[in-house]
Structure 1
Amino acid sequence: MINGEQPTYWYPYDGSVSNEEIINQALDWLDLPIDERPRFITLYFNDANYWGHIYGPEATEMDPVIQGLDSDIGMLMGGLNDRDILENVNIIITSDHGMTSQSRDRMIFLDDYINLDSMMVIDWTTMATIRPNEGLDSIIYSQLSGVHEKMDVYWKEEMPERLHYSNHRRIPPIICMADQGWSISTHEYFDNHPDAYTGGTHGYDPVYKDMQGIFICNGPSFKDGLLVDSFQNIHIYNLIAYVLGVTPTENDGDLNAVISMLEP
C-alpha cells in the first residue's frame, strides 16, 4: 500500500500457499488482456528465511532449500519464455536482510551484570533495548558499559548515525548491540529454552557482510554482466519507479546510487 492505495490485484500473505501457486498466479496475471495486465508484480518466497532460522545459513540442510528456490526461479523464467516475453521483462531478485549462525556457546547474560528488576528490556538477542526504571538511567548505563567485549553499549543519542536509530521517542534510552553471532539473554530464558540460540538469525549491525541481502537484476533496462558495489536497499524503490516510468513518493533513497546499472 502506498499513500493509502492498494495494488489492483493483491492477496494477504498466507504462508501455506506454495511457491508454485504464487508463480502460477503471477503468470496468470500476465495472460490477462493488455488493458487488465499489471505492469509491476511482486512475489515473496519465505523458504530461505524460515529454514535459515531453524538450521542456520551454513547448514547442509539448506542445500535442498536453495536448490528448490533455484527451481522456482527457473519455473518463473520458463513461464515468461513460453509466453515469448522473457526478453521484454525486467526482473529483480532481492532480499531485505542476510543471516548468520547462532550458537549457545556465544552468549551474553545481562543478569550477570545487572538487576533485571531495575529495568524493562524491550528487545533481546542481537540487541537489548533498555528502558530503566525512573532515575536509574545513568546507573544502569555505567553497570553495562564495557562489561563484555562482544557487546557495545550506547545512549540512544550516541548511536552511530548510519543506523538512524537515535531520535524517535519510542527508542529506549540505552541500546546494547551484540557482535555478529553473539546473543543477549538471561540465564533463566537460556535454561528454559534449550533450542534457543541455535540455527540462524539477523538483526546485527548491517556493516557485517552476513547481514547484507542479495540483488540480482536482468532485463532490457539493465546493463548486461555488470557487477556493482554494495548499496543500501532503500535505493531499490527509486530504481523500480524509474524503470516503470513513475514518480516515486517521497523517500530516503537516491536513484543516483544505483543509476550505473541502468542502460542509457
Structure 2
Amino acid sequence: MKSVFSLLLFTISFLSLAQNAITDTTQVVIPNRKNSIEAQSKPYVIMISADGFRYDYAKKYNASNLLKYANEGVQAKAMIPSYPSITFPNHWSLITGMYPSHHGLIDNFFFDYKRNEMYLMSKQEKAEDGTWYGGTPLWASAEKQGVLSASLQWVGSGSDAGGKRPTYYYHYHEKFSPTEKVDKVVNWLKLPEEKRPHFISMYFPEVDGAGHHFGPETKETEQAVQKVDNAIGELVKKVNDLGLKNVNFIFVSDHGMITVDGGNPLEIPALLLDKNRFDLYNSQTLLRVYVKNNDEVKTVFKELKKNKTDGYEVYLDKKLPKYLHFATRDDRYNRIGQILLIPKAPKVFLFKDQKTSIGKHGYDPKIVPEMKATFFAWGDTFNNHQVVEEFENVNVYPLVTEILGLKIENKIDGKLKVLEKVLKK
C-alpha cells in the first residue's frame, strides 16, 4: 500500500492537474433505452447541487434568483449534512438516502482492507467503479422502473452503482461553464417524449472552489455564488419556455464552509507516525486511525487520550456519538478505522510541511453550524411560501421517489414523513 501521505497529496493536487490533462467532454448515451408509456406522463425533477453552498450564502450574498424561487416554493432553515461533512460522502447520501457508513463512501479517499485497495475520488477508474458504492442512486432506481435519467457530473453518476447508469451522462471534468451546463439540461428536455429524461441531476463546483481557495467570507466566494445564481435563473427561464407540465426543481448543497486556522495546525501525535503499527487517513478535519494489531487498540486509545491537547477530541470508533452514524456499529464496510481524532473547529491536523486551504469542511454540523447546507425546492408539485425546520440530507431521496412514483428497492435511512409535508396534496 502506498503511503497515505503521498496519496493525500495526490488527491489535493488532482483538480489542478486534471485541467491540464486531455479531457473527455463528450456525452455518453446508453443506447436502446426509452421511457415507458407510464413514465412519459410522470413529473420532471431537476436536482441541482452547488458544492459548498453554505446554508446562509443565498441571503448573505443576495442570490436573487434562488431567494425568489425559495420564497415562492419551499426552503429549509438549513439542511444537515451527513458526517463527515465532505463532498463525495454527502453527494452519495443525497442520491441514495443513506448515511456514509451505510453506503460505504466514508470519505473522499479511504482504504478497503477486504479489497486491499484504495479508493480515491481523483481516480476516474475508481470513481466510475460501481462496486465501491452501496445503495441505489436515484438514476438507477428510475432507469430500472422505466424512467429515463440524465446526469451532469454528480458524484458516482459515471458508475454502474445500483445496477444502472443514467441514460445520458458525462465523465467528470471542469471544462463546462455554468451556462453550457444549463444548455445541456435544456437540450435533454427538448428530446422526444420517449427519449426525454424525467430525472436530471447536475453539479456546480464553483462555490466550493472559491470557498476553499479564498475563504467563505470573501468577494471571490460572493462572485461564485452570483455565478451559480445566474445559471439557476437562466435554467429556470429556459425550462419554463419549453412549456412542459409538472416540472420541479430541487436545489441542494453537500456541506458548508469555514475559515480554518491553517497557520497553527494541530500536530499529529508522534505515537501514530509509526507506519508499522498504524495507517493514518487525514482529511485534516478528521484523522482516522487504523491500528494494525487489533489487540493494541485500547492501549493506544488510552495513551492518545492521556497526552492529547485541547484542540481535538479522541474517540474509539465504537464510542462515537450515535447521532453521527459513524461508529463501529454503523460501519458496514469496515472502512472507518478504530480510533478517530476530531479537531475542534477551526483547527486542522496537518502532517509536517503539509499545507491546507483557507476554507475547509468536514466538521460535525451539530457543533459547527458553518457546515450546514442548503435546501430549496419549487415547482408544480411543491407547496408555496413554506419554510421547514432543519433536516438531515438523507431525507431528500424518499422525497424524489415520491414525486416520481418510484418504489424504493433497498433499506434507506431517509424517511418520507420528514418532507412529505412540502408536497401539494
Instruction: Give, in angstroms, the shift of residue 24 of structure 1.
Output: 0.5
Q: How many angstroms apart in 1 are the aligned matches of 2:272 and 2:389?
A: 45
Alignment-derived partner of residue 144 in structure 1: 304
Question: What's the secondary structure of 2:327's corresponding residue?
Answer: coil
Within 5 Å, which residues of 2 pair with 1:118-137?
119-132=278-291, 134=293, 135-137=295-297
Alignment-derived partner of residue 241 in structure 2: 82
Question: CA 1:133–1:7 in 2, change beyond 3 Å: closer, same or farther?
Answer: closer
Counterpart amino acid of 1:25?
K
Q: Percent identity?
A: 29
Instruction: Give, in angstroms, the shift of residue 104 of structure 1.
Output: 2.1
Where does structure 1 lack aligned partners over 5 or more consecutive residues? none
1:35 to 2:164 alignment: no
Instruction: Give, in angstroms, the shift of residue 255 of structure 1.
Output: 0.3
Instruction: Give, in angstroms, the shift of residue 60 of structure 1.
Output: 2.0
Question: CA 1:121–1:115 in 2, change beyond 3 Å: closer, same or farther?
Answer: closer
Alignment-derived partner of residue 185 in structure 1: 350
Q: How many angstroms apart in 2 are the aligned matches of 1:127 and 1:94?
A: 24
Q: How many angstroms apart in 2 are the aligned matches of 1:202 and 1:59?
A: 16
Asked whether the 8 Å contact 2:262–2:358 carries over to 1, the reply is no
Question: CA 1:124–1:69 in 2, change beyond 3 Å: closer, same or farther?
Answer: closer
Asked whether the 8 Å contact 2:282–2:349 carries over to 1, the reply is no
Q: How many angstroms apart in 2 are the aligned matches of 1:115 and 1:161?
A: 26
Where does structure 2 lack aligned partners over 5 or more consecutive residues? 1-136, 141-161
Alignment-derived partner of residue 222 in structure 1: 382
Determine which structure has more spread, i.e. the larger CA radius of gyration: 1
Q: How many angstroms apart in 2 are the aligned matches of 1:63 and 1:165?
A: 33
Higher strand proportion (structure 1 or 2): 2
Q: How many angstroms apart in 2 are the aligned matches of 1:4 and 1:109?
A: 43
Cα shift readout 1:18-59 (whole Å, capped 9, x = no counterpart)? 221111111011111222211111111111112211111112
Q: How many angstroms apart in 2 are the aligned matches of 1:177 and 1:110?
A: 11
Within 5 Å, which residues of 2 pair with 1:97-246?
97-111=255-269, 114=271, 116-117=273-274, 119-132=278-291, 134=293, 135-145=295-305, 147-167=308-328, 168=331, 169-186=334-351, 188=352, 192-193=353-354, 196-207=355-366, 208-246=368-406
Counterpart amino acid of 2:380?
P
Question: CA 1:122–1:115 in 2, change beyond 3 Å: closer, same or farther?
Answer: closer
1:94 to 2:258 alignment: no
1:252 to 2:413 alignment: yes
Question: CA 1:124–1:21 in 2, change beyond 3 Å: closer, same or farther?
Answer: closer
Question: What's the secondary structure of 1:148's corresponding residue?
Answer: coil
Aligned residues: 256
Cα shift readout 1:52-93 (whole Å, capped 9, x = no counterpart)? 1111111222121111111111110120232234x7311000
Question: CA 1:41–1:198 in 2, change beyond 3 Å: closer, same or farther?
Answer: closer
Q: CA RMSD in A?
A: 1.9
Question: What's the secondary structure of 2:323's corresponding residue?
Answer: helix
Q: How many angstroms apart in 1 are the aligned matches of 2:337 and 2:343?
A: 16
